[in-house]
Chains A and B, each alone.
Chain A
Amino acid sequence: MLSYVLKRLAQGILTVWFIATATFFAMHNVPGDPLTNDRAMTDTTRANLEAKYGLDQPITTQYLIFLRNLSRGDFGISFVQENREVNDIIREHFPVSAMLGVLAVIFAATGGVLFGALTALYRNRFPDYLIMFLVIMGISVPSFVVAALSQLSLVTFNNLIGFTVLPVAGWGTILHMLVPALVLGLSTMAYLTRLMRSSMLEVTSSDYVRTAKSKGVPATRIFTRHQLRNAILPVVTVLGPAIAAITTGGFVVELVFAIPGLGRYFVEAVQQLDYTVIMGTTVFYGAFLVFMVIIVDVVYGLIDPRVRLET
């Protein structure tokens, strides 16, 4: 198990290096350069600034410096907000996105497992049809529409009641987080529900469930001990990619609900062409996702002994 974890970690570090390299060269292809802005600049100023940021070096040197700084966990200084470190920006905004993402993943996972199990239990009856209809809606309606509609209904609801039950936008308390997290987790929840349903149906027709039934095990016990536990496994495998989808999917939700997260900050940085912030955020996100997937895989190995045997 330990060698497996180490192997995955080594792969992960290599992947992060690849992400960093791709980001670096993609950013170097951007037309213009970081010092091009609306302020007029004399040639001396420009040369001084280029020297300061190391932009006068050949690209290979710049790349090596970038990698060396990266290995120390230093993403450099923002070009737009003077003297502000990219690390600082990430430290300030990432917890917000992470909090939102964690809540969304919790919503998606619990909702997906619960609804998926329900649909399998009530297969081809009304609850199944209703939930599957909602699932198809959840997959087909774009997240920004869901976000806008939920915001609109919040406004109407608050107006109707006469006081603010849940805030419409902003960040701060747990009340601010509930609706955005739900919206963010919705499409993943729909996907997980579908997955859980088919895996549950597969488990229901398996031998060990039949054996348990013939032994006279009560139906609720079969459901919790045999069906649910086995059917959850495929859901755990896709949690890694699901976390990735939710973290980047946060852009829209952060934009619509005015949440000061890293996703919104990234979009702003791109609009202002803030090179170091863009590179830092991308590498940070990439590394985060890579290690998230590794953690999920390792956890999966712990839960399911069959996986451990294979590796």
Chain B
Amino acid sequence: MSRRARVVVALSVLLMMLSSLGAVSAQTLKVTAEAWYYNKYKLEEAAARFQEDHPGVEFEWSKAGDFEVAPLMLAWSRDRYVADIAIVASPSEAVAFQARGLLHDFEDVLVGKYAKENWLEGFLEQCTMDGKVYAIPTDAEVMTLVGRRDFAAEAGLTDADGYIIPPKDFDELYEYLQKLTVKDETGRTVRYGMTVNWSPEYMCYAYFSGIQAMRGTIYDDEGNLDFSSPEAVELLRFWQRGVDEGLISTSSLVEHSGPRNDMQSGLACILWEDHARVIEIGHVVGPENMQIVPIPGSEENGTVSYTMSLMIPTSAEHPELAKQFVLEQLNAEWFAHDLMDRWGKLLGLKEHVEAKMDDLIWKTVFQLADNSVGLPKTVDHAKMVDIMTAEIHNMLKMQQTPEETLARIREQIAPLNLEPLG
């Protein structure tokens, strides 16, 4: 063998050894999530803690735009490895993934501390299809009212301890709004009694939380999503009248952060959105000024909750390791409490909330969450939301009556596939 040939063989062997060494040690978990998630969640600290327990594991992060699920779907459906863990907006999207058989289930790891009975039922149910859990709830939220105690006190709507007295029904809530709203000498509203998130992302949660609170179900007498009951008309009438009389802000019609801005700037007194805002807004206006106020009827009838989901695609290279990371760190107590304290967001395990039951906010949230329902997972959910948003916005701009609005929604959703999946 010539000298050159020996050098080539030696180098080849060396390269093979190095590459096999790399293959043994390189366990890189790829995580993809919407960009804002990285700002709110301490993912890197979670990764560092995981690395302490699992030496040799590396992490690679990628950021997706808000509500951008399509690129993931395309990649996964072609069996391309883009992530071991994906965090997407809602379980209805997880449904879409699961419908194509693109997700690993978590059945094998939901044992012991993580057994199904230890999770908040409403949230875990939203991540379940055909009896199997395909996603782990994260960033779970309950729809409710969030109120300014200081403004309510000025309007005489608080009890002896300074807490807002929950309104008994929607008529009383309307009276609250009248008392809380402030107008200038020209009649222009300078402080709204309420702001509601009617952006496409929140529209169906806002609507169905009202229906659930009023009726105790989001379905009509025939088992379809309710767009026909007297309560549905009453809810829309409440909203329309409130807007027409300048008691309810419409900032969310074009900007989904509008209601949050309204509250943080003191432009509105009560927010109809998710419970997490009570903490987030409290950071700006003072936590002592914030309180959760149940939607009238929701203490008995419940409300609507929703959750984002942690999913593991079938194209993942390290699914078992990914499951370990999801449960050990992304559902660890430190992680859950950090999220609750800074952003008011919930994870799915009950123990994290139970540990904070001394706090009135978390006590109320726990009760509401325990009594909440998720929206059904359907093929045409996104189309339904689009139709609802357009029609209810038109109603809020006084272009049609509540009855006409509901009739138009019914007419347009009739051809859609809204049969619950799983």
Specify whether A and B are partners.
no
Interface positions of B (Cβ within 8 A of A): none
